[in-house]
Structure 1
Amino acid sequence: MDSKPTSSPAAAEQPALGGSVVLAWLYVGIPLAWGVSQTFIKALALFK
């Protein structure tokens, strides 16, 4: 039986992009979290 490598060669050639990924998630996540929180606050006012 042939044993296959666990990671592809293409993945091994790409540099680590951890910092860029974190910044991208923050760029999208912060406004998204703010919008969800504001929607939740305004929805609570409907039930008072």
Structure 2
Amino acid sequence: MTSQPNSSAPAPATADTGTGGSVVLAWLVVGLPLAWGVSQTFIKALALFK
């Protein structure tokens, strides 16, 4: 006998994505320090090749 999936189970809830402004703010909070760190690493790496 095979087990049948429970068809009365509730569908998984989808998360509210919020507003576009909060997404942009989140990317800025992460992206700006990341960009600064990458640029500083690149500048310091250039000094190794002088």
What range describes the TM-score normalised by the shorter chain of this pair? 0.5 to 0.7
TM-score, length of structure 1 as denominator length:
0.66
Identify the residue that residue 7 of structure 1 maps to in structure 2: none
More helix by share: 1
Number of aligned positions between the proteins: 37
Structure 1: 5+ residue stretches without partners: 1-9
- Output aligned runs, 1:17-28, within 5 Å: 17-28=19-30
Could you tell me how far 1:17 is from its partner in structure 2? Answer: 1.5
- Percent identity between matched residues is 81
Give the TM-score normalised by the residue count of structure 2.
0.64
- When Rg is computed on C-alpha atoms for both structures, the one with the higher figure is 2
C-alpha deviation, 1:16, in angstroms: 5.2
Task: Give the superposed CA RMSD.
Answer: 1.6
